[in-house]
Chains A and B, each alone.
Chain A
């Protein structure tokens, strides 16, 4: 099998040390909450803490009268209470627990707390809708005016209901009726998932500084997507985007989560900074973050699948409904990915799935590492194993017969035209983990502690694909001492992007890794390259960095050729910041001399390159066409021990194997895989934002439980490479693949151990022991 180690590069494909590591191990790195400005005020938000209510009366006079309070604002006081992205900066109609009814800026944290308590609010409670099932009932209250209803099972404009119309995606392949007619075995199953919290360790933080002279509003933010945050600030203040400047500070984790709430608090802080003329810092507490930040979408899956006796899967039908919460600006993109992957990584000729989100009075759902895939893979892999059981067939045999291979058509009828090492990976991992023997032995065990093993095969479209344009731009600047500055609109969120981009630029230019500096994002310094999401930073957006590096190298070599007096028959190249005549290494010159010459002769020293994505033709009514430039394949085996007396699931070992195309940095790739295992394990076993009638039951890490160092299993990260030219230097996505399979593998392992299938995550003590949860919460 093609394990990493066969490719030859100068800078990439090596474990270069992270460029941000020294600042992070010494405490020097400045996060948004660490930034201080003179005369800074402290701001905070008053949350409604109700699922659905109108503000009947709000009296801020007592709060305003307190010494040291500089501004108390309600929805009536601001230019535009609703943001461009659906959510409200401040509202007078609370639609979920996290809605904000007033904002305050004060001299100190203590005065701020007194002021928030002094605001008097009277609410008129309104009926709410909370679960997917409630939202779809014909007589359910309509939560959002823009909600629509179903006609013959299809979300339809012009009807009333709670469906988020723009989030509806249909997939129609082949003929579903004919497909099922030819099946010997047909099963129908339902699965559900829960609200999950990102739980980045750094709570959201911003500090806004208004410059009264040039009208510029600068916000330093813990932002995953500073260009997204910029839209909120311009929108909240009613200023043009070129007067709103966002500086991304070192980001303390995001995983998709620091978009909406960071945008809203950036807008709120900017409003307060403008109102008071003072710098305003707004740092969210963990409790506030837990109720107002987005969550992973809970899904309800209803699947029907059929196969011949021989194990040929012929038809799959599915309805996938996700709980979007009270507001949303994500489900309309997320469900595109969910639809594309709704039939799993199998070659199935007849497919019909409908995917849509519903509005409820719950916390809102957003982007969270995987963007639907942990949920879809959990349901899909349970389904395929239940089909194997119904066929009385070994699951590995069933997978061998149906797994996508080179040249096959995916669910969207895209032909897999790049090297496809998926089936080989599966065989290799099965052999390495001794999966089949363990699976068989576990099925016949007795005793209180039962062992289980689960195998997941999955794939993921690389980058944004047909969801939206996957473009990006990068800037490379040469300096006369031989050093270089690079930048792009893609952000370091902790994943190691600065290091990867530095390696890619160094590789493309022939410059030493150490000679390059990537500072980070100030939206006034470099153009938007699209969001840093979808595991696209290295794979897709960095194509522009490779291009910019190559363009710079061409310029540098023109000067080198002149300085080295190379003839037209001689070739020059650059390695490790030294240009030389090929075949005559003694004829060489340093890049500092080249850059210096270019500076004083007036030659171009800076390059900006844009990468337009390859055109993907896809029919958005049928979900048919080319969905992604290429796919990253993953195989995961989880091994557990279940205590059948308590329901405790002890995850013993996780083997996580990935098709990385080309590994840019093996150490940071492994970091993604290990961290992804921890996050997937939490998703499977302990993590749930427990909602009941719109209230959140767990507000902090004392009751929202995710893995500690002592909980972690033995981990085996397997890195495969292949020849696939679509990504930057052949790289494929890893950030989300690292976590998307793990929860499903653990759920399968539990079924293998106990003989009982987990239909609804998380597989906590109660669900494993009793098959249901006794705590407040229930379904979302």
Chain B
């Protein structure tokens, strides 16, 4: 099948890849760009483990055609820490023990980042809404909410 040329900016770096017309953004990130921090949990847009930020908005990459990303600016979990320095949200997840198995953690961190980038001081309810698309089976979300609140209250 004929491939499509795709140019996008991933974690601040322009990338150019050849993708099949039906390729999901998830597969292009994981298989072509080797950014395996973006996870597949369900493949139907329910669990949010594949969350990335596209031009400031969170998207489920399992439901996003890669070909639709032409010219878009994408942040994956690998692009959240700058120059080996953890982002305050990442540090708060560590400080508040807001992770267990960690499989949903990249998606949760990115949902929290998208929220705080737009709304630096959200209410607890806003935090819960912002991460409601990220299923976590380990934590019960309590320490996750505490971690995000701690960053929001700074």
A residues adjacent to B (C-beta < 8 A): 15, 17-18, 20-31, 33-34, 36, 198-203, 250-255, 285-286, 493-496, 667-668, 670-671, 673-679, 700-702, 706-710, 712, 715
B residues adjacent to A (C-beta < 8 A): 30, 34-44, 46-47, 49, 76-78, 80-81, 86, 90, 93-97, 99-106, 109, 127-129, 131-145
- Do B80 and A252 touch across chains, with their CB atoms under 8 A apart? no
A selection of 14 A-B contacts at a CB cut-off of 8 Å is: A17-B95, A24-B102, A25-B93, A31-B39, A200-B103, A200-B137, A201-B135, A253-B137, A286-B43, A674-B139, A675-B100, A709-B128, A710-B128, A712-B128
Q: Quick one: given A24-B105, A253-B103, A670-B143, are A201 and B136 in contact (CB under 8 Å)?
A: yes
- Do B137 and A199 touch across chains, with their CB atoms under 8 A apart? yes
- Do B46 and A709 touch across chains, with their CB atoms under 8 A apart? no
- Do B142 and A701 touch across chains, with their CB atoms under 8 A apart? no
Q: Quick one: given A24-B105, A671-B97, are A679 and B137 in contact (CB under 8 Å)?
A: yes
CB proximity of A254 to chain B, nearest CB, Å: 8
Q: Quick one: given A26-B78, A494-B102, A679-B137, are A710 and B46 in contact (CB under 8 Å)?
A: no
- Do B42 and A25 touch across chains, with their CB atoms under 8 A apart? no
Q: Would you list the 3 A-B pairs with minimal beta carbon distance, nearest first?
A: A27-B37, A494-B101, A24-B102
Q: Which of A22, A27, A675, A679 contacts B77 (CB 8 A)?
A: A27
List residues of chain B with CB within 8 A of the CB of A27. Answer: 35-38, 76-78, 106
How far apart sit A327 and B43, CA to CA, in the bound complex (Å)? 28
- Do A252 and B102 touch across chains, with their CB atoms under 8 A apart? yes
List residues of chain B with CB within 8 A of the CB of A709. Answer: 127-128, 131-132, 134, 136, 141, 144-145
Q: Quick one: given A286-B43, A675-B137, A709-B128, are A493 and B101 in contact (CB under 8 Å)?
A: yes
Q: Which of A26, A29, A252, A712 contacts B141 (CB 8 A)?
A: A712
Q: Which of A28, A200, A715 contacts B142 (CB 8 A)?
A: A715
Q: How many A-B residue pairs have CB under 8 A?
A: 176
How far apart sit A200 and B104, CA to CA, in the bound complex (Å)? 10
How far apart sit A26 and B97, CA to CA, in the bound complex (Å)? 14
- Do B141 and A674 touch across chains, with their CB atoms under 8 A apart? yes
Chain A residue at smallest Cβ distance from B89: A25
List residues of chain B with CB within 8 A of the CB of A31. Answer: 36, 39, 103
- Do A495 and B142 touch across chains, with their CB atoms under 8 A apart? no
Q: Which of A26, A252, A701 contacts B90 (CB 8 A)?
A: A26
Chain A residue at smallest Cβ distance from B107: A201
Which interface residue of A24, A25, A494, A667 has the most chain B CB atoms within 10 A? A25
List residues of chain A with CB within 8 A of the CB of B134. Answer: 709
List residues of chain A with CB within 8 A of the CB of B34. Answer: 36
- Do A677 and B140 touch across chains, with their CB atoms under 8 A apart? yes
- Do B101 and A200 touch across chains, with their CB atoms under 8 A apart? yes
Chain A residue at smallest Cβ distance from B77: A27
How far apart sit A142 and B151, CA to CA, in the bound complex (Å)? 60
Chain A residue at smallest Cβ distance from B142: A674
Q: Quick one: given A24-B105, A26-B80, are A700 and B97 in contact (CB under 8 Å)?
A: no
How far apart sit A706 and B135, CA to CA, in the bound complex (Å)? 8
How far apart sit A202 and B43, CA to CA, in the bound complex (Å)? 11
Chain B residue at smallest Cβ distance from A492: B101
How far apart sit A701 and B49, CA to CA, in the bound complex (Å)? 12
List residues of chain A with CB within 8 A of the CB of B139. Answer: 671, 674-675, 678
List residues of chain A with CB within 8 A of the CB of B140. Answer: 671, 673-679, 707, 712, 715
How far apart sit A27 and B36, CA to CA, in the bound complex (Å)? 7
Chain A residue at smallest Cβ distance from B140: A674
CB proximity of A202 to chain B, nearest CB, Å: 4
List residues of chain B with CB within 8 A of the CB of A30. Answer: 36
How far apart sit A17 and B95, CA to CA, in the bound complex (Å)? 7
Chain B residue at smallest Cβ distance from A222: B103
- Do B109 and A25 touch across chains, with their CB atoms under 8 A apart? yes
- Do B39 and A201 touch across chains, with their CB atoms under 8 A apart? yes
List residues of chain B with CB within 8 A of the CB of A255. Answer: 137
CB proximity of B146 to chain A, nearest CB, Å: 10
- Do A494 and B138 touch across chains, with their CB atoms under 8 A apart? yes
Chain B residue at smallest Cβ distance from A24: B102
List residues of chain A with CB within 8 A of the CB of B80. Answer: 26
List residues of chain B with CB within 8 A of the CB of A17. Answer: 94-95, 97
List residues of chain B with CB within 8 A of the CB of A200. Answer: 101, 103, 137
How far apart sit A252 and B38, CA to CA, in the bound complex (Å)? 13
- Do A28 and B37 touch across chains, with their CB atoms under 8 A apart? yes
List residues of chain B with CB within 8 A of the CB of A34. Answer: 30, 36
CB proximity of B130 to chain A, nearest CB, Å: 9
How far apart sit A285 and B41, CA to CA, in the bound complex (Å)? 8
CB proximity of A72 to chain B, nearest CB, Å: 23
Q: Which of B30, B100, B143 contacts A494 (CB 8 A)?
A: B100
CB proximity of B21 to chain A, nearest CB, Å: 12
- Do B101 and A18 touch across chains, with their CB atoms under 8 A apart? no
- Do A201 and B95 touch across chains, with their CB atoms under 8 A apart? no
- Do B46 and A26 touch across chains, with their CB atoms under 8 A apart? no
List residues of chain A with CB within 8 A of the CB of B46. Answer: 700-702
How far apart sit A725 and B76, CA to CA, in the bound complex (Å)? 48
List residues of chain A with CB within 8 A of the CB of B35. Answer: 27
List residues of chain A with CB within 8 A of the CB of B36. Answer: 27, 30-31, 33-34
